[in-house]
Structure 1
């Protein structure tokens, strides 16, 4: 639309720990190149906010209030990995930075595609699906209470965890899944354990089926979580959009990421109605930090997902084209034999990003 021809975005940067300082700048370089190739150079004003070890040293917290306040003034942000297991106490025992951000901004939809890349080694290269994971409730203790945790120990020998499922949360994640399916192959699969967890995941299944009636053009089926792992191993190409609760979605997205190649190429966004956070599915990999060999594919493709989300929210065809150019640029680089050591190649982090930029500039 004409009103969006010169639109500028203010996007937050949270570099993170471990390999974050290597892979996040690579994603920024690629995103800027994609916007330039799409006809809007300088479309993003990147604003960095402290997080992780750096924030602990400077501000006494891995996710300071000033960072949360700053993010509230952006259109979205790019989150690098955090190494919360290595934080000093009391920070290590508290909700980690990504969890804090998701909870603070009610980022209820965790969307994780799994798609094989031509030229890359994959267990199931035909994989092309998306996990749509409810991100605020379910069985995860850090998301099942307003304050505190959903895990507790009434005695030293008894540990109890609670899961929370509500109709509004299920309805909104279900609509997210069906709307996404309409942009893909119009097939939604509900994953649950309603035969045992009848009131909780049974409610998830039932409410999602109610929402399905609003989308008569989308095919719907459902599977128990244990059966679904087998189906994904045997026939991942048969699935399109998979919607499920929090913990099941976390598990299945790691599985499908490996089927498609590795977690090093597995992107994601965490989205609410008005804001979204791009975040690779993998961790901080402190064992290879500083060596320049980390795979930036996942965070680069996560940045593309963020641009696609911005395109939808703001009706911005230039952002959509920039996202398409990133996707095609990554595919072209890998197909040409450029990859990092985890995928069997020899390219450094910076060399891979350079190859993606070159492919974008060539219009591939």
Structure 2
């Protein structure tokens, strides 16, 4: 089987060479096609950090094994790591965190074993990167949570949890504050949970989840979260088991999958042959299992665990009283231990059952959407306007333009209601949200909204608008704080 390999920037080539040397020593039956991705490709003028040939190769092979990559700072370009995940719709980011004997942590010293998996939604949320300055003082970031996108990652999380024999799956969220977006993610979680009655499904508010993870992580098994929250929580969990140097990452999609180390490029030690290749090796082991090379994966992982138990370590971890080894020596130690069994956490040697690669020839972008069950109607609009005037003056001007179809319901500033009720102790910025609803919830047209927009333009600069929709009798918009 042939896979695409991108060595990455900084320490990337060193740790990739170390991992591939271990694969070769174990006679892993893979061929590697090296592709051009990373900062040096940005510097050649490719704005997405990869050459067209690299993109074509990865899309034809379906598997990318990549080292850490750097995004140039201050050049207005997007992260190549995020671009790759989003371009190829690798919707589920799976990170496994487990106690590694030989890697001392607070929990290992206390005899508390950790074995938990974080599944992070990988495409949506604030990682859409859609931002605007509404006024010179006010920036807006749009947060997208979709039902089909949530369904993809949550379905994957339940299926993976079921196959690994997990007992519990937890949804981390902030639906107590973000009732529409996180509320949708949580709603989909419990819809999918009905299909897996053998799994205990529960949810935890994400700040409470963080507190519990650092105090009793052994209570959790599989946790699924939205993109930004999952990013933060997965790095927190890396800290529980020794740091990002021990954090493998698999990005799973329907057509393409990416396996990578999640730590940085460490330019300060690049070229010194002292970097720790463990995270990339663990990601590679995950890739082997994904491809069906179960025996190769177990033999290599057992050799890694045996090596760690033996006290062999690079400079970033381990007993400071014993000499550290360099990247090449660490890889050679693992190679020497191939076939040996660790005292703790040994992996069963299952037979290889390589998957048959599916080559996808897509002619158009897949459209993912669910069936609209109830009738949709527009019942109002939020007008985001620029003004440095007091709320009562803004309201007075807005009321002139409501006409027969609209009523002014509330005005908020930074999400807090300031009209018709509010407090003079609420600090204001020069941007308000003015909510207009239809009289008696009658259905409106976009033309009705546009006419209101045109009337309001006489008094305000309108920065942005959002339609207020209803599906059936369910309002699809949130209230202001204090409304």
C-alpha distance in structure 2 between counterparts of 1:330 and 1:184, whole Å: 24
CA deviation profile, 1:70-112 (whole Å, cap 9, x unmatched): 11121412111112145xx6xx421121112112211101001
- Answer yes or no: is 1:50 the counterpart of 2:36: yes
TM-score with structure 1 setting the length: 0.87
Q: Secondary structure at the match of 2:202?
A: strand
CA deviation profile, 1:258-309 (whole Å, cap 9, x unmatched): 1011110100011102321111111111111111111100000000111111
- Answer yes or no: is 1:21 the counterpart of 2:13: yes
- Answer yes or no: is 1:93 the counterpart of 2:80: no
C-alpha distance in structure 1 between counterparts of 2:235 and 2:37, whole Å: 25
Displacement of 1:66:
1.7
- Answer yes or no: is 1:73 the counterpart of 2:54: no
Q: 2:25: which partner in 1?
A: 33
Displacement of 1:363:
5.9
C-alpha distance in structure 2 between counterparts of 1:155 and 1:30, whole Å: 55
Of structures 1 and 2, the one with the larger relative CO (CA 8 A, separation 6+) is 1
The number of equivalent residue pairs is 332
- Answer yes or no: is 1:323 the counterpart of 2:297: yes
Q: Secondary structure at the match of 2:303?
A: helix
CA RMSD of aligned residues (A): 1.6
Q: 2:131: which partner in 1?
A: 151
Q: Secondary structure at the match of 1:322?
A: helix
Displacement of 1:123:
2.9
Q: Secondary structure at the match of 1:286?
A: coil
Q: Secondary structure at the match of 2:3?
A: strand
Task: Answer 1 or 2: which has greater helix percent.
Answer: 1
Task: Answer 1 or 2: which has greater strand percent.
Answer: 2
Unmatched segments (≥5 aa) in structure 2:
343-483
Displacement of 1:27:
1.4
CA contact (8 A) 1:184 1:240 kept: no
CA deviation profile, 1:212-263 (whole Å, cap 9, x unmatched): 0000011111100100010001100111100010001100010000101111
Alignment match of 1:103 (pick from 75, 81, 86): 86
CA contact (8 A) 2:88 2:255 kept: no
Q: In structure 2, do the counterparts of structure 1 residues 153 and 128 end up closer, same or farther at CA, with 3 Å as the change threshold?
A: same
CA contact (8 A) 1:276 1:309 kept: no
TM-score with structure 2 setting the length: 0.66
- Answer yes or no: is 1:338 the counterpart of 2:312: yes
C-alpha distance in structure 1 between counterparts of 2:190 and 2:46, whole Å: 46
Q: How does 1:277-296 map to 2 (within 5 A)?
A: 277-296=258-277
C-alpha distance in structure 1 between counterparts of 2:76 and 2:276, whole Å: 29
Q: 1:302: which partner in 2?
A: 283
Say which one has the larger Rg.
Answer: 2
- Answer yes or no: is 1:211 the counterpart of 2:192: yes
Q: Secondary structure at the match of 1:203?
A: helix
Q: 1:263: which partner in 2?
A: 244
Q: Secondary structure at the match of 1:177?
A: helix
Displacement of 1:57:
5.2
